[in-house]
Amino acid sequence: MSSEEETQQSLPYKVHKSTLKWAPVFNMTILLSIAIISCLIRVFSVIRYESIIHEFDPWFNYRTTQYLVKEGPYALWNWYDSESWYPLGRSVGGTVYPGLMMTSGMIYWVLHKLSIPIDIRNVCVFLAPIFSAFTSLAAYGMTKEITKRSEAGLLSALFVAIVPSYMSRSVAGSYDNEGVSIFALVFTFYTFLKTVNTGSILWGVYTALAFFYMVASWGGYAFIINIIPIFVLFLLITGRSNSRIQVAYNVFYILGTLLAMQIPFVGFQALHSSEHMASHAVFILINFLNFFSWIRNFVSKKAIITLTKFLIVFLVFSILVGVVILTLAGKTQWSGRSLTLLDPTYAKKYIPIIASVSEHQATTWSSFFFDLHYLILFSPVGLYYCYNKPTETKIFGALYTVLGVYFASVMVRLLLVLAPAVSIMAGIGISWAFRKFAKSVRSFILPKIEKPKKYRIPPEISIIGLVILGYYCSIYVLHANFAGSEAYASPSIILSSRDRQGNRNIIDDYREAYYWLRMNTRPDDKIMSWWDYGYQITGMSNRTVLVDNNTWNNTHIATVGMAMASSEEDAFEICEKLDVDYVLVIFGGILNYSGDDINKFLWMVRIGGGVYPHIKEEDYYGKGTYRVDQYATETMTNSLMYRLSYYRFDEVQTAYGQPKGYDTVRQAVIGVKGYKLRHFEEAFTSENWIVRIFKRKQRENRDGVAFTSKSTSQFTIPKEFSPVTKFSKKANTKQRSTLNFQNNE
Amino acid sequence: MIKFLILILGVVLAGTPYNQKKVLVLSDNPAVYVSHSQFFNLLSKSYRVDYKNIQSNTFNLQLFGEWQYDHLVLFSTTNDLKVSTQELLDFYDSGRNILLLGSTDQSKYFRKFLNSFGLDMHDYGSSVVDYFNNIKGNQNIVTTNNVNILKVDKPVAHQGAGLTMTPYETFQVYGLVRGSETAFSGPNLSHNIIYVGATQGRNNARFVATGSWEILSDEFVNDSNLGNFELAQEIIRWGFGQSKILKAENLIHRRLDSDDIKPYNYRLREDCYFSIDIYEWDYQKDQWVPYNSTDNDVILEFVMLDPYYRLPLKKGEGSKYELSFKIPDVYGVFQFKINYLKPGYTFLKIAEKITVRPFRHDEYGRYLVQAFPYYFSSFGTMAGFVVFLIAFLLNK
């Protein structure tokens, strides 16, 4: 036996050999476990609470899915929903991304065909966790296309599977578009990179199909339709373009745009909206360059120069003219949300309704770190790796990450788009570091196989490095676990608190109130609330609402804002005009629940004031700040929102050592006590006062008739005499704010 | 003597059927039975009349949450009622009717009460004077022909205070009998002097007030030259809800070309048919008869936030009011609204909600003439591609 054979027989070599042999099996097993983990970590919400649809938008998706399952796809397409946006209604089929509903509908139908009688609610609840498993598989594929290495793919898959940012939108019950569309996003990129690598038209078709699914499920598809042209343009400018890129882009662009037009909500926007302009321009450019290089074969060099000059002038001129004409004619325009992306201060200045949504705020560092954790430290390593030895796919990964970082810093919700990019980059970076360290350790243990290089890292440092990286990775896993089980598990319609003994108390006011509405009001009653609760009311109470989370009509929302911000008398007129039967307000003053309507009230004032200028924000500031105590302004304390929220609040003691009527959220004693409501009556208040429902009374029998005459007032009035009505001449002659209802369609 | 009269009245009342509507008459002076005997006769023809002294505690308007009377006649005095004005107003707001016979020296209590119906009594002690339209040259006994809503042909005599109306715009307060052009009362000029005023609540309860007791007293009512007898009749009929009572029923809307009544929804730009039956109560025949509106004034509104249509309903056969129109090119939750506020008549407020939906995906035209260039270009491209393929493959 030679010495070489001997070393081959020693244990480390044996281990090494069999590891290599079994590597694909390990690979698959690990990938499968990652997929399972990504599913399981999202089920904490069901374990801690119950199988229920979360938050706001998911309630609409759930209701739509129920409709789809009951009535079929054509009915959904033509569904005109008269229960929302009363009296405007909403044409659901044309204003919805049906991908999510169709997906769960398909699962439901297939399972029922297989005689598995699953409830549609459970399909909806568990859809996002299942798709997160697919996402981790797609991330594995995408990373593999970028680096051609499966260990990087595995790490990326793990990071994507448990990244808290993605988890926040895909826990069980979070039945939202993002749940399936992040998978579609990553999968589209995977297939696109595959096309770029292979130059295969077939994979290009797959890309277009994946893109179609993305368009069908989320408005965030605009990200794909912009980043791929940017990527292609980048390659064109840097001179890296080749025929594979041309195939990939042309197939993707033509089929993708055609398919996108099939979604009713997108339709011809795929041609004329500004979000798509980049894709058209790059398509023209790439084919023009192709054509130009083909012409070059036939023309002399001198002619080429003149031709180039002419063509450049012609192209620039025609593009300029085209853009100017389209913009002036209003054929193409940026949507408010897209403009906010380009100019982060845009919404704050012009569209309060976009600025009022918390997920449209600029991202803070704390949420960056909480949602991505150590990945933001690791991903620059991956970026460095990508820029170090660039290939087309690496450039794509790097571009995706850089653009994602920009978008994520503008809007909190776009952290979601960044999360896969950062995870993949971190996976690439860490696996690269691991590989470097492992190589040096391996060459130390197996000197014969690994040929030593010049700048090898010493094995001691490698081991320390491995330990440190491993430690950080495990910290990340622990953090993700915490985020999944605690931070993002709450359905937000069920609240929980811990008492001093550490017991969890479930606060179920929302469902209590919505169920009350469902059982105690007439089926065609109209409920007015701030738009946040619209989807929940239609979903859980099955009652008509005036405005909901699909904020398509600013004027209508402003009218509701005006009603909330007006005095009771004026609000009654508005409510009567809008046929409002009940007014629902959320009040957290007893339970210290800070997400209540008094805290949102300034947005109602701003949005209302944006359309009805007689509502002025400064009228609601007492002594320069927004307050509810004795220094609150008269406009504030007279507003319907204040009156309804604090009705009979002064009769309860909320905090020890504080007088009655102490608001625990605003930490102040309310300014107006003991008032009565004239046009509204309390219909329902939930256990912890979180939801308060008031019924609009009928107009009084002699409203506007009674008055006090001079001849009567000249009489000496006996003290015990009580006035018949509250009306006085002054109150009657007071100029009512002129209501100007518009139907902004 | 008075006690005897009351006794007789009691005997008479005891004989009346129980299901007759009950009227409570409140006064502090039983002599009204003598001075207003004609009025009481008219009243007791169709009602069970219960007389109580204003100051007495022996009557209850409300007992165990049930109103004990259907109508109330008040002879106002210088004294206050034991019952609070709020209870009287509650009585009225529950859909019951009140007739108030005012007087110049009535107490603040009644003035306040009048005020809450949008009417006001002239200043204390002042009475209407008319040097031209009066009886036998007595300028305090004034006459007028200005009678609205009620059917009175002869001039009406009045003696005592006048009323004025609320200075604010409202559709609920009317002057039933107004002073003639030459009447005045202190600072009040003729155009706003009301002898008999009325208020109709949103629930259609009716309130009638006169400026003085005398307008319904025997002295005027028995005078055959005057219309006060008719006036008394009419006041009882109108004020206690027998005449000018409307009801609407049998609301129908459907597509013009279908018999499917009240469909689930309409499509925009569809033709729609609307009809409703409106009846008026005929107190003589004691039954509902078709209501004949004189001048096309039953208006149908088609409303979503704002009215999209405001069209007069056409009188069809019988009691039917109907109209067919094209639904506008807007989708939303619309309402058929009729808001019939004709003075003197029951208010009709009808709203029926319907949904107008947009076109379904398969309701658009399949091939459009103006799109033929596009069809041609797409099929041309396809054909060209095939030709190109063949040429390309054969040339190789």
- Region A75-102: mean pLDDT is 90
Query: Which of 188-227 (B) contact A at CB < 8 A?
Result: 199, 201-203, 205
Nearest CA in chain B to A706: B116
Q: Is A293 exposed, middle or buried (0-12, 13-18, 19+ CB in 10 A)?
A: exposed
- List chain B residues with CB under 8 Å of A545: none
* Token pair of A285 as six digits: 């450019």
| Predicted confidence (pLDDT) per residue in B326-382, tens digit | 999 999 999 999 999 888 899 999 999 999 999 988 888 888 888 899 999 999 999
Interchain proximity B331–A700, CB inside 8 Å: no
* Higher-pLDDT residue of A739, A89: A89
CA B69 to chain centre: 21
| Predicted confidence (pLDDT) per residue in A525-575, tens digit | 999 999 889 999 999 999 999 998 888 888 999 999 999 999 999 999 999
CA A563 to chain centre: 28
Q: How confident is the model at residue A358 (pLDDT cuts 50, 70, 90)?
A: confident
Most confident of A710-719, B80-89, B348-357: B348-357
- List chain A residues with CB under 8 Å of B89: 702, 724
- Candidates A84, A100, A120; CA nearest to A538 is A84
Of B120, B170, B353, the CB nearest to A704: B170
- List chain B residues with CB under 8 Å of A94: 358
Q: Is A239 exposed, middle or buried (0-12, 13-18, 19+ CB in 10 A)?
A: exposed
Of B93, B115, B333, the CB nearest to A86: B333
Of B92, B118, B331, the CB nearest to A80: B331
Of A87, A578, A701, the CB nearest to B93: A701
Whether the pLDDT of residue A718 is over 60: the answer is no
Residue to test with chain B: of A562, A576, A705, most B Cβ within 10 A: A705
Q: Is A738 exposed, middle or buried (0-12, 13-18, 19+ CB in 10 A)?
A: exposed
Interchain proximity A88–B93, CB inside 8 Å: no
- How much is the mean pLDDT over chain A? 86
- List chain B residues with CB under 8 Å of A577: 305
What b/e string do you get for B273-308 counting C-beta neighbours within 10 Å, with b at 16 or more? bbbbbbbbbeeeeeebebbebeeeebbbbbbbbeeb
Interchain proximity B333–A88, CB inside 8 Å: yes
Evaluate if pTM is beyond 0.95: no
Whether the pLDDT of residue A329 is over 60: the answer is yes
Query: Which of 285-324 (B) contact A at CB < 8 A?
Result: 304-306
> How confident is the model at residue A211, as a pLDDT?
96
Contact B147, B176 (CB under 8 A): yes
> How confident is the model at residue A735, as a pLDDT?
37
- List chain A residues with CB under 8 Å of B124: 711
Contact B119, B194 (CB under 8 A): yes
Of A77, A86, A524, the CB nearest to B361: A77
Give how far A382 is from chain B: nearest CA, Å.
45
- List chain B residues with CB under 8 Å of A722: 84, 86
- List chain A residues with CB under 8 Å of B364: none
Whether the pLDDT of residue B11 is over 60: the answer is no
Of B123, B334, B353, the CB nearest to A524: B353
Of A704, A711, A721, the CB nearest to B120: A711
> How confident is the model at residue A505, as a pLDDT?
85
CA–CA gap between residue A99 and residue A92 (Å, rounded): 13
- Candidates A375, A454, A453; CA nearest to A162 is A375
Interchain proximity A702–B331, CB inside 8 Å: no
Q: Tell me which H or E stretch contains B273.
A: strand B271-282
Residue to test with chain A: of B98, B115, B188, most A Cβ within 10 A: B115
- Region A142-171: mean pLDDT is 92
Interchain proximity B358–A80, CB inside 8 Å: yes
Report the greatest alpha carbon distance in chain A.
131
* Token pair of B43 as six digits: 């009243």
Residue carrying the six token digits 């009045």: B158
Interchain proximity B332–A704, CB inside 8 Å: no
Interchain proximity A724–B115, CB inside 8 Å: yes
CB pairs under 8 A between A and B: 122
Query: In angstroms, what is the C-alpha Rg of chain A?
Result: 31
Q: Tell me which H or E stretch contains A337.
A: helix A336-342
Of A80, A707, A717, the CB nearest to B168: A707
Calculate ∠ Cα B166-B170-B176, nearest 5°.
70
Interchain proximity A708–B330, CB inside 8 Å: no
| Predicted confidence (pLDDT) per residue in A197-211, tens digit | 999 999 999 999 999
- Is residue B15 less than 8 Å (CB to CB) from chain A? no
Of B170, B202, B333, the CB nearest to A699: B202
Interchain proximity B306–A741, CB inside 8 Å: yes
Give how far B347 is from chain A: nearest CA, Å.
12
Interchain proximity A708–B121, CB inside 8 Å: no
Which residues are CB-contacts of A452 (< 8 A; sequence separation ≥ 6)? A443
Interchain proximity A706–B115, CB inside 8 Å: yes
Beta bridge partners of A545: A527
- Candidates A19, A5, A137; CA nearest to A438 is A19
| Predicted confidence (pLDDT) per residue in B94-141, tens digit | 999 999 998 877 888 888 888 889 888 887 777 888 888 888 888 888
* Higher-pLDDT residue of B5, B89: B89
Q: How confident is the model at residue A745 (pLDDT cuts 50, 70, 90)?
A: very low
Quote the ipTM score.
0.84
> How confident is the model at residue A720, as a pLDDT?
38
Of B118, B203, B333, the CB nearest to A82: B333
- Is residue B123 less than 8 Å (CB to CB) from chain A? yes
3 state DSSP class of B247: strand
CA–CA gap between residue A644 and residue A564 (Å, rounded): 9
- How much is the mean pLDDT over chain B? 87
> How confident is the model at residue A427, as a pLDDT?
93
| Predicted confidence (pLDDT) per residue in A16-44, tens digit | 888 888 889 999 999 999 999 999 999 99
* Token pair of B173 as six digits: 């307060």
CA–CA gap between residue B176 and residue A284 (Å, rounded): 82
- List chain A residues with CB under 8 Å of B173: 705
Q: Does the N-terminal peptide bond of residue A73 adopt cis geometry, omega within 30 degrees of 0?
A: no
Which residues are CB-contacts of A148 (< 8 A; sequence separation ≥ 6)? none
Which residues are CB-contacts of B381 (< 8 A; sequence separation ≥ 6)? none
> How confident is the model at residue A301, as a pLDDT?
81
- Region A368-378: mean pLDDT is 89
Please report, rounded to a whole number, the percentage of residues in chain A having pLDDT higher than 90. 48
The H-assigned helical ranges of A117-175 are 120-147, 150-162, 164-168
Query: Which of 72-101 (B) contact A at CB < 8 A?
Result: 84-86, 89, 92-93
Q: How confident is the model at residue A334 (pLDDT cuts 50, 70, 90)?
A: low
Most confident of A108-112, A354-358, B79-83: A108-112
